[in-house]
Amino acid sequence: MPSYAMLIDASKCTGCGACRVACQMQWQLPPDRFYNRLEFREKGSYPKVKQEIFPVQCMHCDNPPCQSVCPTNATYKTADGIVHVDPQKCIGCKKCIDACIVGAVNFDEDLKVPIICKHCGICAQFCPHQCLTMEEV
């Protein structure tokens, strides 16, 4: 079974947010919930200040730290390499959020479970600058 990876070229990102909006529309998420986000950081000092933009989403790690800390095995990885959270097993301890090395696990306060990128690729499809690409590995 093929595995896919999301490649992110942050140098191409303009911060337009098309990736986030496409994801929210695909998964019918309200504006305050998301599987991906953009981080804006300032670099340098006045008058030579530059803004860097970083798309952030679950990287579906080879050995996900979020999975290893889950006390109920609610966080798991499938054979195709995608990390999921089983809401039936999740106790809402948020250990996965603390363990995520990229800060990509969010918590749905209504459902009381962590939410992560579904790795569907809709963000890559709608990125106007091709910052995000889905590649078979």
Q: What percent of the chain has pLDDT over 70?
A: 99
Whether 79 shows a pLDDT value over 90: the answer reads: no
Would you place residue 1 in the very low, low, confident or very high pLDDT band (cuts 50, 70, 90)? low
Same domain, 48 and 74: no
What tokens appear for 111 in the block?
Answer: 């459902």
Range of the domain at 99: 61-116
Q: What is the pLDDT of residue 110?
A: 86
Same domain, 40 and 92: no
Same domain, 109 and 86: yes
Whether 2 shows a pLDDT value over 80: the answer reads: no
Instruction: With beta carbons less than 8 A apart as the criterion, state whether 58 and 104 touch.
Output: yes
Whether 20 shows a pLDDT value over 70: the answer reads: yes
Same domain, 26 and 51: yes
Same domain, 36 and 81: no
Domain containing residue 133: CATH number: 3.30.70.20
What does the pLDDT average to over 84-93?
94
Q: pLDDT for 36-59, tens place per residue?
A: 999 999 999 999 999 999 889 999
What does the pLDDT average to over 91-111?
92
Q: How many CB atoms lie within 10 A of CB 114?
A: 23
Same domain, 96 and 137: no
Whether 27 shows a pLDDT value over 90: the answer reads: yes
Q: How many CB atoms lie within 10 A of CB 43?
A: 9
What does the pLDDT average to over 64-82?
94
Among the listed residues 114, 66, 118, 117, the one whose alpha carbon sits nearest the alpha carbon of residue 91 = 114
**How many distinct structural domains can be found in the chain?**
2
Q: Residues 93, 55, 63, 76: is their CA dihedral positive or negative?
A: positive
Instruction: With beta carbons less than 8 A apart as the criterion, state whether 115 and 30 touch.
Output: no
- pTM for the full model? 0.82
